[in-house]
Amino acid sequence: MRRLMKELTELQTSPPEGIRVSTQEDNMLDVTGIIEGPEGTPYAGGYFNVKFKFTEEFPAAPPKCWFATKIFHPNVGPTGEICVNTLKKDWKSQYGISHILVTVKCLLIYPNPESALDEEAGKLLLENYDDYCARAKLITSVHATPRVRPAEFATPPSTESAPPEPKHTPTKPLVVAVAVPTTNTLFVASASASSIKPLSSGPLQASPSNTIITPAPSATNEKTAGKERYSSPSPLGPAHSNVTAPVGITTGTKAVKRTAAGGNAGADKRKKALKRL
C-alpha cells in the first residue's frame, strides 16, 4: 500500500509523456490509467482508459490490467484483456504502474500480430495495413475520442516550485589607490566590491619590475672600481715643478737661462785665447 501511494504521487507530479492516472477518493486502490493515442498511429486523438486491479501478491505478481475503452487492436481481446509479456512471464517485482502504462502505449505504436488476441485485427494488419488503419481510426473516433479533453490532460502536472533566483544588483565600481614604495607613485584601480580580496598582513615586498639587481663586479670592474676609490692628488703646481725631464733636457725658464749663461762663458774664453796670441 505504501509503495502504491508513493508511485501514484510520483505519477501525478511528474508523469510520462501522454500518460496520466486517476483514483477514486473512497478507494485509492481503484486506479485508472489514461493513455493518449500516439501521433502517427490510427489511435491518435483518442484517450484510452486502462483499469488496474491489485492483488495481495503484488508486487511479487503483476496486477490485472485491461482496456476499459473499446479499441481495435490485435493484442487486445474482445473484453479488453491485454496480451503483453510484461504482464506475464517478463514481470519483475521492481515494475510498477508507470512501467505497465508505458509498455501498453508502445504496444499501440508497434502491434504484434503474431500473438493476437483479436484474430480479425491481426489478420487485417498482416494482409492489408490500410484497411486495418481505417478500421482502427473508426473505432477510435467512436469510442475513444471525447468532445472535451480529459481533465487530467487539461492542466500540466504539478511540479515542485523552484526557489526564486536571487536578483542581481549591480555594484558601483570601487576606486582603490595603491602606493608603491619604490617609486612613490599612486596607481588607481577600479573594481567591484565583490572582486576585492583581503591583503596579507605581512610587510610589502617590491615587485620584480621595481627591484634593482646589482651584478657581481668582474675583474675589470674591480680595477676600475679600485681606481675610482683613490683620493684625488693635491692641486697641480707649475709645469716645471711637476715634470721630470730626461737627462740633458732642460725645460721651462731655467733651461733658457742656463743656455744664455753657457753662451756668454764660451765667448769670454775665446776672447782670452785671442789676447794670448
The pLDDT tens digits for 220-253 are 444 444 444 444 444 444 444 444 444 444 444 4
pLDDT higher than 50, residue 190? no
40-44, 52-56, 139-143: the lowest-pLDDT one: 52-56
| 21 within some domain | yes
DSSP 41-108: STTTT-EEEEEEE--TTTTTSPPEEEESS----TTB-TT-BB--GGGTTT--TT--HHHHHHHHHHHH
- The whole-number pLDDT of residue 160 equals 44
Active site positions, annotated: 83
- Provide the CATH number for the domain around residue 40: 3.10.110.10
For residue 180, the SS3 value is strand
- Closest of 92, 90, 87 to residue 117, by C-alpha: 87
| 91 within some domain | yes
Contact yes or no for 98/7 (Cβ under 8 A): yes
- Closest of 43, 39, 32, 40 to residue 17, by C-alpha: 39
pTM reported for the whole predicted model: 0.56
Give me 262's grid cell: 753657457
| 143 within some domain | yes
Number of structural domains the chain divides into? 1
Render pLDDT for 22-40 as a digit per residue (tens, 0 to 9).
Answer: 988 888 888 999 999 999 9
| 175 within some domain | no
| 257 within some domain | no
Give me 209's grid cell: 619590475
Q: How far apart are CA 190 and CA 176, in angstroms?
A: 7
The fraction of the chain above a pLDDT of 70, given in percent, is 56
pLDDT band at 185 (very low <50, low <70, confident <90, very high): very low
Greatest Cα pair distance, the chain, in angstroms, is: 186
E strand or H helix that includes residue 263: helix 252-276
pLDDT band at 161 (very low <50, low <70, confident <90, very high): very low
Contact yes or no for 100/58 (Cβ under 8 A): no
pLDDT higher than 90, residue 127? yes
36-50, 110-124, 210-224, 257-271: the lowest-pLDDT one: 210-224
| 31 within some domain | yes
- The whole-number pLDDT of residue 172 equals 52
- The whole-number pLDDT of residue 154 equals 78
- The whole-number pLDDT of residue 25 equals 81
pLDDT higher than 50, residue 205? yes
Q: How far apart are CA 146 and CA 25, in angstroms?
A: 23
In one-letter notation, the amino acid at residue 144 is: A
| 2 within some domain | yes
119-123, 128-132, 189-193: the lowest-pLDDT one: 189-193
The mean predicted confidence, pLDDT, of the chain is 74
Residue range(s) defining the domain that contains residue 126: 1-153
- Residue predicted with more confidence, 1 or 11: 11
| 11 within some domain | yes
Q: Which DSSP category does 216 fall into?
A: P
The fraction of the chain above a pLDDT of 90, given in percent, is 40
pLDDT higher than 60, residue 50? yes
End-to-end CA distance of the chain: 173
